[in-house]
A and B are shown apart, each in its own frame.
Chain A
Amino acid sequence: MIAAVEISGVVKKYPKTVMPVLKGISLEIEKGECLGLLGPNGAGKTTLISIIAGLLKPDEGSVHIFGKKPESMGRKIGLVPQEIALYPSLTARENLNYFGRMYGLGKKELASGINFWLEELGLEAHAGKRVEDYSGGMKRRLNLIVALMHSPDLLILDEPTVGIDIHSKMVILEQLQRLNKAGMTMLYTSHQFDEAEKICNRIVILDRGQVCWNGECSYFNKLYGKADLEQLFVEITGRELRD
Chain B
Amino acid sequence: MNILSAIYKELLVLTRDRAGLAVLYIMPLTLIILMALIQDAPFRDYKDTHIPVLFVDQDNGQLSALISEKLSETGMFSLVRADSSHFANDKYIQLVADGSYKAAIVVKEKASSQFDRKLRIRIEKSFNSFAAVKSAYPDPLPADDDIQIVWDPVIKKSFKDGLTTALNSILIGYQADKTLAMVEDRLRRMSGDDKLTMSNTPLIEVKQRETSEPDHALYALNSVQHNVPAWAIFGIFFMVIPLAGNIIKEREQKTMLRLHLIPGSIQVVLLGKILTYLFVAVTQFVLVVLAGKYLMPLLGLPALYTGDNWAAISLVVMALGLAAAGYGVFVGTLFNTTYQASTFGAVSIVILAAIGGIWIPIFIMPEIVQKLSLLSPLSWGMKAFNTIFLRGSGIETVYWEILLLSGFAIVMFAGSFLWEKNKN
Binding site for B on A (CB under 8 A): 53-57, 71-72, 74-75, 77, 79, 81, 83-90, 94, 97-99, 101-104, 130, 146-147
Contact digits for B230-258, partner A, Cβ 8 Å, 1 yes 0 no: 00000000000000000000000111011
**Are A146 and B258 neighbours in the complex by a CB distance under 8 Å?**
yes
B261 at the interface (CB under 8 A from A): yes
**Are B253 and A89 neighbours in the complex by a CB distance under 8 Å?**
no
Contacting residue for B261 out of A77, A83, A88, A130, CB 8 A: A77
Interfacial chain B residues near A54, Cβ < 8 Å: 261
Tell me, rounded to whole Å, the shortest Cβ–Cβ distance linking A81 to chain B. 5
B79 at the interface (CB under 8 A from A): no
Task: Tell me whether A102 and B253 are in contact in the complex, defined as CB-CB below 8 angstroms, given that A85-B258, A89-B13 are known contacts.
Answer: no
* Most chain A beta carbons < 10 A, residue from B255, B265, B269: B255
Supply 12 A–B pairs (Cβ within 8 Å), ascending by A: A53-B261, A83-B254, A85-B253, A85-B257, A87-B253, A89-B17, A90-B13, A94-B12, A98-B8, A102-B265, A130-B16, A146-B258
Contacting residue for B2 out of A85, A87, A104, A147, CB 8 A: A104
CA distance A57 to B12 in the complex (A): 34
Interfacial chain B residues near A99, Cβ < 8 Å: 258
CA distance A83 to B261 in the complex (A): 16
**Are B9 and A87 neighbours in the complex by a CB distance under 8 Å?**
yes
Tell me, rounded to whole Å, the shortest Cβ–Cβ distance linking B8 to chain A. 8
Tell me, rounded to whole Å, the shortest Cβ–Cβ distance linking A65 to chain B. 11
**Are A75 and B262 neighbours in the complex by a CB distance under 8 Å?**
yes
**Are B255 and A87 neighbours in the complex by a CB distance under 8 Å?**
yes
Interfacial chain A residues near B269, Cβ < 8 Å: 102
Tell me, rounded to whole Å, the shortest Cβ–Cβ distance linking B6 to chain A. 8
Q: Which of B287-344 contact A (CB under 8 A)?
A: none
Contacting residue for B258 out of A79, A89, A97, A104, CB 8 A: A79
Contacting residue for B263 out of A53, A75, A84, A101, CB 8 A: A75
**Are A102 and B262 neighbours in the complex by a CB distance under 8 Å?**
yes
Contact digits for B260-273, partner A, Cβ 8 Å, 1 yes 0 no: 11110100110000
Tell me, rounded to whole Å, the shortest Cβ–Cβ distance linking A194 to chain B. 26
Interfacial chain A residues near B424, Cβ < 8 Å: 56-57
**Are B257 and A79 neighbours in the complex by a CB distance under 8 Å?**
yes
**Are B261 and A90 neighbours in the complex by a CB distance under 8 Å?**
no
CA distance A164 to B1 in the complex (A): 36
CA distance A98 to B262 in the complex (A): 13
B27 at the interface (CB under 8 A from A): no
CA distance A84 to B9 in the complex (A): 18
**Are B253 and A86 neighbours in the complex by a CB distance under 8 Å?**
yes
Interfacial chain A residues near B26, Cβ < 8 Å: none
CA distance A81 to B265 in the complex (A): 18
Interfacial chain A residues near B23, Cβ < 8 Å: none
**Are B12 and A102 neighbours in the complex by a CB distance under 8 Å?**
no
Tell me, rounded to whole Å, the shortest Cβ–Cβ distance linking B382 to chain A. 35
Contacting residue for A74 out of B255, B261, B268, CB 8 A: B261
CA distance A88 to B12 in the complex (A): 11
Task: Tell me whether A94 and B9 are in contact in the complex, defined as CB-CB below 8 angstroms, given that A84-B253, A89-B17, A102-B268 are known contacts.
Answer: yes
CA distance A81 to B424 in the complex (A): 18
Task: Tell me whether A97 and B5 are in contact in the complex, defined as CB-CB below 8 angstroms, given that A75-B263, A102-B265 are known contacts.
Answer: yes
**Are A101 and B5 neighbours in the complex by a CB distance under 8 Å?**
yes
Tell me, rounded to whole Å, the shortest Cβ–Cβ distance linking A124 to chain B. 21
**Are B13 and A101 neighbours in the complex by a CB distance under 8 Å?**
no
CA distance A55 to B9 in the complex (A): 24
Tell me, rounded to whole Å, the shortest Cβ–Cβ distance linking A53 to chain B. 6
Tell me, rounded to whole Å, the shortest Cβ–Cβ distance linking A41 to chain B. 18
* Most chain B beta carbons < 10 A, residue from A86, A87, A102: A102
Interfacial chain A residues near B263, Cβ < 8 Å: 71-72, 74-75
Q: Across the interface, name the chain A residue whose C-beta is closest to B266.
A: A102
Interfacial chain B residues near A94, Cβ < 8 Å: 9, 12
Contacting residue for A85 out of B9, B12, B255, CB 8 A: B255
CA distance A88 to B253 in the complex (A): 9
Tell me, rounded to whole Å, the shortest Cβ–Cβ distance linking B16 to chain A. 4
B259 at the interface (CB under 8 A from A): yes
CA distance A54 to B260 in the complex (A): 9
- 8 other A-B residue contacts (CB within 8 Å) besides A79-B261, A83-B254: A55-B260, A75-B263, A84-B253, A85-B253, A86-B253, A98-B5, A101-B1, A104-B262
Task: Tell me whether A90 and B12 are in contact in the complex, defined as CB-CB below 8 angstroms, given that A55-B261, A101-B5, A146-B258 are known contacts.
Answer: yes
**Are A83 and B253 neighbours in the complex by a CB distance under 8 Å?**
yes
Tell me, rounded to whole Å, the shortest Cβ–Cβ distance linking A49 to chain B. 11
Contact digits for B154-179, partner A, Cβ 8 Å, 1 yes 0 no: 00000000000000000000000000
Tell me, rounded to whole Å, the shortest Cβ–Cβ distance linking B387 to chain A. 41
Interfacial chain B residues near A102, Cβ < 8 Å: 2, 5-6, 259, 262, 265, 268-269
Q: Which of B338-361 contact A (CB under 8 A)?
A: none
Tell me, rounded to whole Å, the shortest Cβ–Cβ distance linking A217 to chain B. 29
Tell me, rounded to whole Å, the shortest Cβ–Cβ distance linking A2 to chain B. 21
Interfacial chain A residues near B12, Cβ < 8 Å: 89-90, 94
CA distance A98 to B8 in the complex (A): 9
Task: Tell me whether A101 and B2 are in contact in the complex, defined as CB-CB below 8 angstroms, given that A56-B424, A81-B257 are known contacts.
Answer: yes
Q: Across the interface, name the chain A residue whose C-beta is closest to B8.
A: A98
Interfacial chain B residues near A79, Cβ < 8 Å: 257-258, 261
Contact digits for B185-227, partner A, Cβ 8 Å, 1 yes 0 no: 0000000000000000000000000000000000000000000
4 closest Cβ pairs, A-B complex:
A101-B5, A85-B254, A89-B16, A83-B254
* Most chain B beta carbons < 10 A, residue from A79, A83, A101, A103: A101
